[in-house]
Structure 1
Amino acid sequence: MRSYAETPPTGPLRAVVEVAWRAHTGTAPHVQRVLPDGCMDLLLSGGRAVVAGPDTTAHLAGSPAGGVTTGLRFRPGALPALLGVPADALRDRRVPLADVLDPGRRRLLRPTPAGDGDGDAAWLARLALALQAAAVDDRTPAPLPRPALRALAGGMPAAELADRLGVTGRTLHRRCVATLGYGPAVARRVLRFRAAAALLYDGVPPAAVAARTGYADQPHLSREVRALAGVSPASLAPRTGSPDLAATAGSARSGERVRGQVQANRSSDEPSGSATVA
C-alpha cells in the first residue's frame, strides 16, 4: 500500500523549509499528479539527488513499485538563493542536483546514502543546512516576504504590491521571476490555485471556494483548475477517484493531504509543490 508522511523542519531550516516528506510507492507502480504551487523541492530517490523546479502546469511523475522518495519542500522563493540559480532556469524541470550547483556548492555534496529512509532525510537536512550557510553572501534576490505572497494569492495587482514593497514594477517582476520562476501575474494564479486546491480537498463546494479565494465565479475557478491541474475541481475533492488522484496519507499537488496541506505535489517520484502560502 502506498504511504506518505511529513515531518516539520527544525532549527534553522524552519526559515526556508515548509516540510520534510517521504513517499513509499508500495507494491505497484504509481503515477502522481504534481500540481503547481510556487514551491521547489530537493529530492532523493534511489541514491539520486534531484531539484524539482517551480511548475506552471501539472506534472505526471511515476514511481516504480517499492520506490522510496525523500524530499524537502522549500517555502515559495527560498531555494534559488541556496542553489545560486534563478528559479526561472528550473521552471517546469527536474534536474540532477549536481548539474545545478556551481563548483563551490558542488563541493558540499557527499556520497548519497543507500536509501534507508532515515539516512536519506538526514542527508538532505545536512545538505540544506550547508547550502543555507553558503548562501549568506549570495546575490540571488531574497524571496518575497510572506505577507506579499499572501497578497498575491489574494489577487493584489502587481502595481499595488510594488508600491507596498517600495520598489518599481520592473523590480518586482525581476524578483518574482528569479525567486518564484515566473512573474507576478503567473505567481498570482499559482498561489491562488494553491489555496483553492486546499479548500477543494477539504470538501468545500466549488462555488464557496471561488468566493473565498477571489475567483470571479465558479466557472472561472473551473477554468483555472483545468488549466493548472489538468483536471476538474471535483477531481481534487476527497473521494476514491482516478488512480493518480487517490488520497492516502499524503501531500498537495495531486490531491493528498496531511495536517491541513493538500499533498498533490510532493508525494511523487519527482514532485515540486505544496498547498499553503506560508
Structure 2
Amino acid sequence: MQQVCRPTRSCDVVEGCPDPRLRPGVLGYRGFAISLDRPRERLEIPAGVVTLVLGFGSTLHIRDATRRPRCTGTSRPETFTSLLAGLSTRARVGRHEGELSGVEVLLEPWAAYSLFGVAMHELVDTLLPPEAVLGPQVDGLVAALAASPGWSERFALLDSVLACRAALGPASSPRLVWAWRELRRTGGMVPIHALVEQSGWSWRQLDSRFREQIGLTPKKAARVLRLRRALGLLAQGRRPARTAAMCGFSDQAHLSREIKTMTGRTPREFLAARCASAARPMSGDRISGEVTSLVLSG
C-alpha cells in the first residue's frame, strides 16, 4: 500500500492506493482531518466518478451550486455526516464549520455498480446517506475506521470490506467497461456510433447498459467528460476558443454556456476562483491531474 501525506497548515490529507484486487475500479482513498477556526466552502465539479464519504462525526452541508438562492427551495443545503454520491451533471458546494474528518473513496461508476448492487441511474445527481444503499452495517464500519490507530489501518480495513462486497456483487460488463474507458480516454470525444459498432450492441442496448452500470447515457456521460477536459485545458492556460475546438464544442459561446450551466460560473469567473483557491489550505483536486474542486472560502 502506497501513501502520500500532504500536510497543509491546519489540514491534513493522506492518500492511499487500494489493494490490487480492487483496481482499477476503486480509484483511490483520501483520508482527511481538517481543523480550522472558521467555516470553509468548497466547490465540487462534475468529475465522472462515484464518491463515498465516511465521516467521523462532523457535519457537511451541501447545496446545488448552479441554482440561484432566490429560487425558493432549490438551493437549500442537505446535511450529512457520511454520504454516497453518484455521477453528477452539476456542481455542488460543500460547507463545514471548520472541523471535518473522515475517509473518501473514489470509484469508477461501473465498479460502484458491482460494489453497491444498485442501478447507477438511481444515484445520478443524488446524495444519499450510505446506509440507504449499503445497509446498517455502515455505522459499524465508520466506528471501526474512526477507532483505528492510523490511516494505514483504515485503508487496510476498507480494502477488506470492499473486496468482500466486490466478490458478492453483480459483475460489470467488460464491453461496458471498455466503452466507458474509451469515453474517458477521449474526453467524451469518441463518436457514440463508434461505441455502438465496436461494442456489438445496438444503440438501445448501449444506452441501457450505460444507465444501469454508469448512471448516464453515453451522450450525457460524454457531456460531463468534455467539461472535465475543457476545464483542465483552461486551467493550463489554453485560450477559450482553442479549448472549445479541442473539446468538441461548436464555438466559444457554446463552451461558455456549458461551463456556466454545469458549474454556476462563467469561464472567467471559474478561472479567477481557481487562482484564489490555490492560495488556500487543502486546495488540491480530488483526482490527480484533473480539475475537480475549488476552495471558495476558509
Structure-1-length-normalised TM-score: 0.77
Q: Which runs of 5+ in 2 are unaligned?
A: 1-8, 58-80
Change (3 A) 1:6 1:198: farther
Partner of 1:19: 28
SS of 2:233's equivalent?
helix
1:134 equivalent among 154, 165, 170:
165
* Partner residue of 2:203 out of 169, 172, 178: 169
Matched, 1:42 2:42: no
Q: State the Cα deviation string for residues 189-226 of structure 1 (Å, max 9, x = none).
A: 00111111222222322222222222222111111111
Residue 44 of structure 1 deviates from its aligned partner by: 1.8
1:129 Cα offset (Å): 3.9
Structure 1 window deviating more from structure 2 (13-22 vs 139-148): it is 139-148
TM-score (norm 2): 0.73
Of 23, 30, 37, 2:40 maps to 30
The one-letter code sitting in structure 2 at the alignment partner of 1:168 is S
1:264 is the counterpart of 2:293: yes
Change (3 A) 1:69 1:231: farther
1:180 aligns with 2:214: yes
Pick closer, same or farther for the CA change 1:72–1:138 going to 2, 3 Å.
closer
The answer to whether the aligner puts 1:101 opposite 2:134 as a matched pair is yes
Contact in 2 for aligned 1:250/1:263 (Cα 8 Å): no
Tell me whether 1:235 sits opposite 2:244 in the alignment.
Answer: no
Contact 1:250 1:258 in 2 (8 A): no
Q: CA deviation at 1:34?
A: 1.5
Secondary structure at the residue paired with 2:177? coil
Q: Post-superposition shift, 1:116? A: 7.7
Deviation at 1:71, TM superposition (A): 0.6
Q: Is the alpha carbon distance of 1:29 and 1:249 closer, same or farther for their aligned partners in structure 2, counting shifts above 3 Å?
A: closer
The 1:118/1:232 distance shift into structure 2, 3 A limit, reads: farther
- Compared CA separation, residues 44 and 53, structure 1 to 2 (3 A): same
Q: Is 1:211 aligned to 2:219, yes or no?
A: no
> Aligned in 2, Cα 1:249/1:61: closer, same or farther, shift over 3 Å?
closer
Contact residue 40 and residue 96 of structure 2 kept, 8 A: yes
AA of the residue aligned to 2:27: E
Contact 1:40 1:73 in 2 (8 A): yes
- Which residue number in structure 2 is paired with residue 78 of structure 1? 111
Instruction: Sort the Cα spacing of 1:159 and 1:58 in 2 relative to 1 into closer, same or farther, 3 A.
Output: same
The answer to whether the aligner puts 1:90 opposite 2:123 as a matched pair is yes
Distance, in Å, in 2 between the alignment partners of 1:16 and 1:120 is 21
**Deviation string, structure 1 residues 208-250 (Cα, Å, up to 9, x no partner):** 222222222211111111111111112332657677x976543
In the alignment, structure 1 segments of 5+ residues that lack a partner are: 269-278
CA displacement at 1:56 relative to structure 2? 1.5
Q: What is the rounded CA distance, in whole Å, between the counterparts of 1:204 and 1:6 in structure 2?
A: 31
| Contact 2:116/2:134 (<8 A) preserved | yes
Q: Which amino acid aligns with 1:9?
A: C
Shift of residue 140, structure 1, vs aligned partner: 5.4
Secondary structure of 1:85's aligned partner: coil
Deviation at 1:111, TM superposition (A): 4.8
Alignment of 1:59 with 2:96, yes or no, is no
The one of the two structures with greater contact order (alpha-carbon pairs below 8 A, sep at least 6) is 1
Asked if the contact 1:200–1:236 (Cα under 8 Å) also holds between the matched residues in 2, the reply is no
More strand by share: 2
**1:102 & 1:35 partners in 2: Cα distance?**
28
State how many pairs are aligned: 260
The sequence identity of aligned pairs, in percent, is 27
